[in-house]
Structure 1
């Protein structure tokens, strides 16, 4: 009887200890769960803040841009991701002949779509701003060939462009292409640009809109920025090579010696 009493006492004395261990394990579990929830919230907040920072940077400083077509080959290839400098023309300077720029072609290259879904356009625009999707159908990348006041003529006896009477040797053209198969003689209105692709036989550019309202001229304020760098693929990362093709072109109205 004494032995049984001793066992009963030990069993009763062990019950509070077992309960304490259960409470301790439960407390540790709740603490770990709370830490996990805090970590997830911080991760979510950090992720959202990171995306917002990238979108703001893309909106005002440098925007990635996915090249969707071969109209600028060999300078830019399909699938290239370029970095567009949005500050290039913010401090008084404007686009110059030879610059490769991204611009909004609404009203010049494409008609304004009044039936567009604003939510869908916003989502697509955000993805394009991160370089994760093709740019909107209204965004184009071309080379500036004429600025306000320029007279651009094609072609001379050697199939070259002439800008303000000066011949332009366009070494950046796609091999086998000429300056243009369709002749033109235009004067660029002030505040606008005449845009051509480097792959002339594959580029839909200002030439194709001569008969449209605006005559294919792109307003300077529609320029999004200048393509200054290649960000992808790795073998092509670096600054975009400039051109001296227009170095001999004088300002409109000045004679050539």
Structure 2
């Protein structure tokens, strides 16, 4: 006498395929929504303070803070909410905590060392000075690449790291 085995899988019928397809669509939509809520967010740049690196009206992607996000470093482009008008602001980190910042004749000095900033038009800023500032612990000094048109840490001081919404990806 032979023993017959009964298949355990769901029969490949129209209803089964439809249910599997719906489950995959639901899983994909949930993943995209979770990614958007907790990790990655599109942001529209609303000013020309980061020009020519990021033009006004451009859409950039913000990586939100979390265990995957390290402390911001020199050169990172960050987003935060303005304390003046509540708008989202995009600026570049030029100095981290415990560093000194100074601008002499349009050249940025960090800890007394002149910085190479190919994205800044030094000729449009000729004669610009900013006093020596020490960045406190837990804060960063941010500036726009379009230094002539940027309202930044030179105006309102260093930015607390916890006030940042995240770091923009894909910007050099």
> Where on the TM-score scale, by shorter chain, does this alignment land: which range?
0.7 to 0.9
Length-normalised TM-score, structure 2: 0.74
Which residue, out of 69, 94, 98, partners 1:149?
A: 98
Determine which structure has the larger strand proportion and give its number.
2
Distance in 2 between residues matched to 1:202 and 1:84, nearest whole Å: 23
Q: Does 1:190 align with 2:145?
A: no
Q: After TM superposition, give the deviation of residue 206 of structure 1 in Å.
A: 1.0
Note the alpha carbon deviations across 1:11-46, whole angstroms, 9 max, x for none: xxxxxxxxxxxxxxxxxxxxxxxxxxxxxxxxxxx8
Shift of 1:104: 2.6
1:218 and 2:159 equivalent?
Answer: yes
Q: CA deviation at 1:59?
A: 2.4
Does 2:21 correspond to 1:72?
Answer: no
1:105, distance to aligned residue in structure 2 (A):
3.3
Structure 2 regions of 5+ residues with no counterpart?
1-24
Are the structure 2 counterparts of residues 187 and 180 from structure 1 closer, same or farther at C-alpha, using a change threshold of 3 Å? farther
CA contact (8 A) 1:154 1:160 kept: yes
Please state how far the C-alpha of 1:91 moved relative to its aligned partner.
3.7
1:163 corresponds in structure 2 to 110
Report the equivalent of 2:14.
none
User: Gaps (5+ residues) in structure 1?
Assistant: 1-45, 112-136, 210-215, 230-239, 242-257
Which digits, 9 at most, give the CA deviation of each residue in 1:143-178, with x for residues without a partner? 0011110011111xx631110111112111147433
Larger radius of gyration: 1
TM-score (structure 1 length as normaliser) = 0.51
Please give the alpha-carbon distance, in whole angstroms, between the structure 1 residues aligned to 2:52 and 2:123. 12
Tell me the equivalent position of 2:151: 204
CA contact (8 A) 1:153 1:163 kept: yes
Check whether the contact 1:105–1:222 (CA below 8 A) recurs between aligned residues.
no
Indicate how the Cα distance of structure 1 residues 175 and 161 shifts in structure 2: closer, same or farther if over 3 A, else same: closer
Q: Does 1:62 align with 2:40?
A: yes
Aligned-pair CA distance for 1:56: 3.4
CA RMSD in angstroms comes to: 2.6
Q: Which runs of 4+ in 1 moved over 4 A?
A: 52-55
Q: Normalized per residue, which structure has more helix?
A: 1
